[in-house]
Structure formats: structure tokens, C-alpha cells
């Protein structure tokens, strides 16, 4: 076992291993993070079945640990599976059931949800998987409440994610739970990904990859992000980029998949979340800096977007050093 005092993450490996999904889990949990101190995760690979094991791309996988060692883990990650129609070996199913009964946290990425469903661990729970296989999961396991919208789902000690890259969103969510928002945001920055990704996976269904933003639009996006407290009408955006309003809408749609106003609101809410997580600024100041108007308007917009008031969000996600006293923030309308 690795030398550390942090939670033990066991990543299962199997014949036909999905290397990208495995990489997502290892990149988040397995790499050293000296800036977090000595309590960072310990990460091991556990063979889900006897070898030899081959991963996608023809790689040979040699895991040092076996299913007998799974009981020592705090969190078990199943990075995908070799196919929705591929049955899971009985020893793996039994090991997962024992781990669940012992209160272990069990995480599946993408097609790994089919293995958890085979084990009966998703019965009566919300779960998701890649959009291409959602209907198959729902038809095959009617006791599972399949959510076609979610990028990932936290159902207590059972976690499922949508398509492969959504595994990163889920892994960051787990880091946020274990180490707080500040560390999760730091890991996201190291990975050059968003700490929070908006929307559900239906936005990716049969949708073409947008072309990169042009130089003028890219400069505008950077300018807006740096000055969110300013008024940004569509006319002003078009004037800054020296294009027509009609062209601006087209360029925004091509580059971001959103209308200018929708993208602006997305950026303002993202900024507000960061400020709530990482600072002790009042709700009023956060609203002003993010360009979301009065505190009353901010609370209404933020709650609609996240399901939480700003104060409740801060209590749930802020790192300890950014948690102001309840009296400083709360009120009858917080």
C-alpha cells in the first residue's frame, strides 16, 4: 500500500480496460499533490479478474492487488466496462456487494454503471451512464431511476457518471467532498478543466464540435471575464468586436453553443460560485463583482441555477478558510 495518511482509492482494472476512464481516475486521485499536505489520497490498482489483462490500445495491465484487498479501500472506482452487454464476473459482483454493505464509496464512470446494476447496487437509486446507452440501462434494469440529463449523480455512497469525460467532473466532485472547494478548484486548474461544468449530457447528443473562437471573439470573451461587473449588452459586445449584432450571435453560437446573453450569465454564475467558495465576501459584494445586480436578484438567479441559495451553497462547498460566520451571511431571505 502507498505511504500516506489519506483515504485509499482502489481503481479496478479488467480485461478490456477503458484506458481513458482509468486515466481520468488516476489523474485526479493518483498523482501526488504535495500542496495538499500529507493527507492526500493513496491510490492503488486492483485486478477485477484473473490476468492476463489487456487495456484498450493493446496495453498489458499488471495490478499488484486483487479483489481480496478491496475491503481495505475507502473508495472503489470502476472506470468504465468492456461493454453494456458484457456480464461482470461473479467474484467482482460479490466483492462490490460486500464493499457496499461495509459502507464503502463506490464510483462508476460511464459504462461501469452496468456492472453496478448487475450487482443490484443501483436498484431504487438515481443513476446515469453514457447517453448512447441510457435507454438500454433503463430497459434492462427497470428498478434503476435512470437520469438522462445528469453529468454525474451522487446517491449517497454510490456514484455514477455519464460519458467518459464526465468521469473527471465526478472525480472533482469527490475531491470537493473530501478536501473542500479550494483544493478541488486547484486540481481542476492543474488539469486545465472547469471546476464546475454547466448543463447536462443531453447537450452533447449528436452535436457537432464547434470551431474555435476567432481572435476577435476570443479577446472579447477574455475582456468580459475580466470585467463581469460591467454592463455587457449585445450592442456593446458587437461594438467591441467591430462586427454586427447578427454576426455576433452567429459567432457566439459557433464558438460556445450559446447565445451571448446565455454565455454571459453562465460566466457570471461561475464567477459567483468561485467567490462564494474561496472568499468571505458578503452576498451583496459577490453579486456586484459577478455582475448579477442586487442581492435579491442574485439570490433568485443563483437558486434557479443551482437549487441552493448563495448562503446554503457556501456552507456546502466553501473551503474552511472561506466559511464566514452564519450571522455575517444568513438572514430570512438568504
Confirm if 173 and 187 have CB atoms less than 8 A apart. Answer: no
The tens digit of pLDDT for each residue in 302-317 reads: 988 888 889 988 887 7
Confidence class for position 69, pLDDT limits 50, 70, 90: very high
Class of domain 8-191: alpha beta
Grid coordinates representing 58 are 493493446
Residue with cell 484473473: 50
What whole-number distance in Å separates Cα of residue 323 and Cα of residue 331?
16
Confirm if 265 and 234 have CB atoms less than 8 A apart. Answer: no
What whole-number distance in Å separates Cα of residue 329 and Cα of residue 83?
49
DSSP 8-class letter at 203: G
What whole-number distance in Å separates Cα of residue 136 and Cα of residue 134?
5
The separation between CA 233 and the C-alpha centre of its own chain, rounded to angstroms, equals 31
What whole-number distance in Å separates Cα of residue 272 and Cα of residue 181?
13
What whole-number distance in Å separates Cα of residue 80 and Cα of residue 26?
13
Count of H-run helices and E-run strands, the chain:
14, 10
290, pLDDT greater than 80: yes
- The pTM of this model reads 0.65
Q: Return the domain boundaries, the chain.
A: 8-191, 210-259, 263-329
DSSP 8-class letter at 28: I
Which contiguous run of DSSP H or E holds residue 136? helix 134-140
CB-side exposure of 192: number of CA atoms within 13 Å?
0
Q: b/e per residue, 90-112, with b = 16+ CB within 10 A? A: eebbebbeebbeeebbbbbbbbb
12, pLDDT greater than 60: yes
pLDDT at 319: 58
Average pLDDT over residues 186-202: 70
197, pLDDT greater than 80: no
DSSP 8-class letter at 27: I
What whole-number distance in Å separates Cα of residue 272 and Cα of residue 293?
12
What is the fold of 263-329? Arc Repressor Mutant, subunit A (1.10.10)
Amino acid at each position: 500500500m502507498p505511504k500516506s495518511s489519506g483515504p485509499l482509492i482502489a481503481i479496478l482494472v479488467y480485461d478490456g480496460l477503458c484506458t481513458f476512464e482509468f486515466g481520468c481516475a488516476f489523474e485526479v486521485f493518483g498523482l501526488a499533490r504535495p500542496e495538499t499536505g500529507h493527507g492526500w489520497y493513496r491510490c492503488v490498482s486492483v485486478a477485477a479478474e484473473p490476468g492476463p489483462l489487456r487495456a484498450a490500445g493493446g496495453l498489458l495491465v499488471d495490478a499488484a492487488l486483487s479483489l481480496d484487498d478491496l475491503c481495505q479501500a475507502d473508495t472503489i472506482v470502476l472506470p468504465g466496462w468492456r461493454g453494456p452487454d458484457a456480464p461482470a464476473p461473479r467474484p467482482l459482483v460479490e466483492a462490490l456487494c460486500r464493499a457496499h454493505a461495509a459502507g464503502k464509496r463506490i464510483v462508476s464512470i460511464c459504462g461501469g454503471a452496468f456492472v453496478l446494476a448487475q450487482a443490484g447496487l443501483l436498484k431504487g437509486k438515481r443513476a446515469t451512464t453514457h447517453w448512447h446507452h441510457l435507454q438500454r440501462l433503463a430497459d434492462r434494469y427497470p428498478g434503476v431511476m435512470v437520469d438522462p440529463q445528469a453529468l454525474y449523480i451522487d446517491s449517497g455512497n454510490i456514484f455514477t457518471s455519464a460519458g467518459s469525460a464526465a468521469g473527471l467532473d465526478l472525480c472533482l466532485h469527490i475531491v470537493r467532498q473530501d478536501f473542500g472547494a479550494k483544493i478541488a478548484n486547484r486540481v481542476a486548474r492543474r488539469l486545465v478543466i472547469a471546476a464546475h461544468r454547466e448543463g447536462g449530457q443531453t447537450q452533447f447528443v449528436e452535436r457537432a464540435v464547434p470551431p474555435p473562437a476567432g481572435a476577435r471573439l476570443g479577446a472579447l470573451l477574455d475582456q468580459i471575464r475580466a470585467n463581469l461587473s460591467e454592463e455587457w449588452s449585445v450592442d456593446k459586445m458587437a461594438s467591441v468586436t467591430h462586427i454586427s449584432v447578427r454576426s455576433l450571435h452567429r459567432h457566439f453560437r459557433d464558438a460556445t453553443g450559446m447565445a451571448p446573453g446565455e454565455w454571459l450569465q453562465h460566466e457570471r454564475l461561475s464567477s459567483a460560485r468561485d467567490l462564494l467558495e474561496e472568499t468571505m465576501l458578503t452576498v451583496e459584494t459577490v453579486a456586484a463583482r459577478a455582475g448579477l445586480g442586487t442581492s435579491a436578484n442574485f439570490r433568485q438567479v443563483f437558486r434557479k441555477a443551482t437549487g441552493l441559495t448563495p448562503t446554503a451553497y457556501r456552507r456546502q462547498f466553501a473551503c474552511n478558510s472561506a466559511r464566514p460566520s452564519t450571522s455575517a451571511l444568513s438572514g430570512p431571505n438568504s
